[in-house]
Structure 1
């Protein structure tokens, strides 16, 4: 029953909350559909941490898409060997994961140590920071440590197949039985962040400010 809940019921619940929650949030809180800026309070740590996080999250995201949603034999058919995929997933993915982790550590440290920033932070802001930090840490740990220790484990024959089975509404919880604990925690917390997404500042990810590219700079001056 626990396996059925974790690997069948829970993922569908999180996806349902993700979709319905966004519709609800957009209908009742369009003015709050943003991430509150705290740049005027502290700029240096925010700039470095934000650049590291946002620079690395894009390749990490696409790495997950390739590893989880594209079957291994498809990649093999176009010439991506097991060794080549391993280099990309573990070494290149691990580097970007570490960069993302450093960025999250800086952003979380800033939020809890800067008194003014902490006072302006809501409970959901702090929750999201720590949850993203934990998810990133578990992802890096699973990639660099678990893969090195459990050498016979291949997530493309277990986690990837299980995840794709969810999308065709034929989930098989048994595929997750022998998955190492670090990967299981990473997957569960990953779905959890999707469930929390509509109720947090993460919704701003869907509002890409393309108009920033061509607009003039905003100049701030001190009021003497």
Structure 2
């Protein structure tokens, strides 16, 4: 029953919470959908931490798609051996993970020591950063430490197959029984984070800026120029 709960019930519950929460927030709280910028309060730390996190999370997302969504048979068909895949996963995934963790730590420190940023930060803001550090920290440990000391775990034929089976409503939960504990913790923490998306600023992840390249440019006037014109 424990296996059924964590690998069948829990993923669907978290997914349902996310979907219902997204629909509710879009229908009734659209003004809170975007993540407001705090660059006005502090720029130095933000210009380092934010690009590290965002570029790292994009690379990590691509890596997860390659490992969890694309089946092993595809790589075998195009001539990518298991050794080649895991080598790329360790170096590429390790770099992405370090970027994410480093960026998040910088952003967390910024929220804690910069008074205006800390004052305007909510509990959800701190929860989001800390939860992301936990999830990405475990993932980075798995990629860099576990895979290079214990051995490269082949998650594509266990976690990957189980993950894809959720989408066809035929969850193969038995595949998760012998998965290393650290990988299970990463999966559970990730699904928990997914459930929190509608209640945090992570919701802007679903906002694709398709109109951004064609929008009218915003014009700003310097304070000096405004004073000269007024006088």
> Could you tell me whether the CA contact under 8 Å between 2:60 and 2:93 is conserved in 1?
yes
Q: 2:30 aligns to what SS in structure 1? A: coil
Gaps of 5+ in 1: none
- The TM-score, its normalising length taken from structure 2, stands at 0.90
Gaps of 5+ in 2: none
Residues of 2 paired with 1:203 and 1:152: CA distance? 33
| CA-CA distance at 1:131 after TM superposition | 0.3
The one-character-per-residue Cα deviations of 1:1-35 (angstroms, maximum 9, x if unpaired) are 22211111000001111111111110000111111
Provide the residue aligned with 2:3 in structure 1. 3
Superposition pairs of residues 28-177 of structure 1, within 5 angstroms: 28-151=28-151, 153-177=153-177
The one-character-per-residue Cα deviations of 1:83-128 (angstroms, maximum 9, x if unpaired) are 2211221111111211111111111111122222111011111111
Instruction: Specify whether residues 74 and 46 from structure 1 end up closer, same or farther in structure 2 by C-alpha distance, changes over 3 A only.
Output: same
| CA-CA distance at 1:209 after TM superposition | 3.5
Instruction: Specify whether residues 41 and 4 from structure 1 end up closer, same or farther in structure 2 by C-alpha distance, changes over 3 A only.
Output: same
CA root-mean-square deviation: 1.8
Which has the larger displacement, 19-28 or 112-121? Answer: 112-121
Residues of 1 paired with 2:207 and 2:118: CA distance? 25
Residues of 2 paired with 1:73 and 1:10: CA distance? 28
Residues of 1 paired with 2:148 and 2:115: CA distance? 40
Provide the residue aligned with 1:216 in structure 2. 217
> Could you tell me whether the CA contact under 8 Å between 1:146 and 1:180 is conserved in 2?
no
The one-character-per-residue Cα deviations of 1:157-183 (angstroms, maximum 9, x if unpaired) are 211111112112111222112212221
Aligned positions, number: 224
Residues of 1 paired with 2:107 and 2:128: CA distance? 11
The one-character-per-residue Cα deviations of 1:141-166 (angstroms, maximum 9, x if unpaired) are 01111112332631112111111121
Q: 1:80 aligns to what SS in structure 2? A: coil
Which has the larger displacement, 212-221 or 175-184? Answer: 212-221
| CA-CA distance at 1:73 after TM superposition | 1.5
Kindly name which structure, 1 or 2, has the bigger radius of gyration based on alpha carbons.
2
Residues of 1 paired with 2:186 and 2:23: CA distance? 27
> Could you tell me whether the CA contact under 8 Å between 1:101 and 1:137 is conserved in 2?
yes
Residues of 1 paired with 2:105 and 2:90: CA distance? 21
Q: 1:8 aligns to what SS in structure 2? A: helix
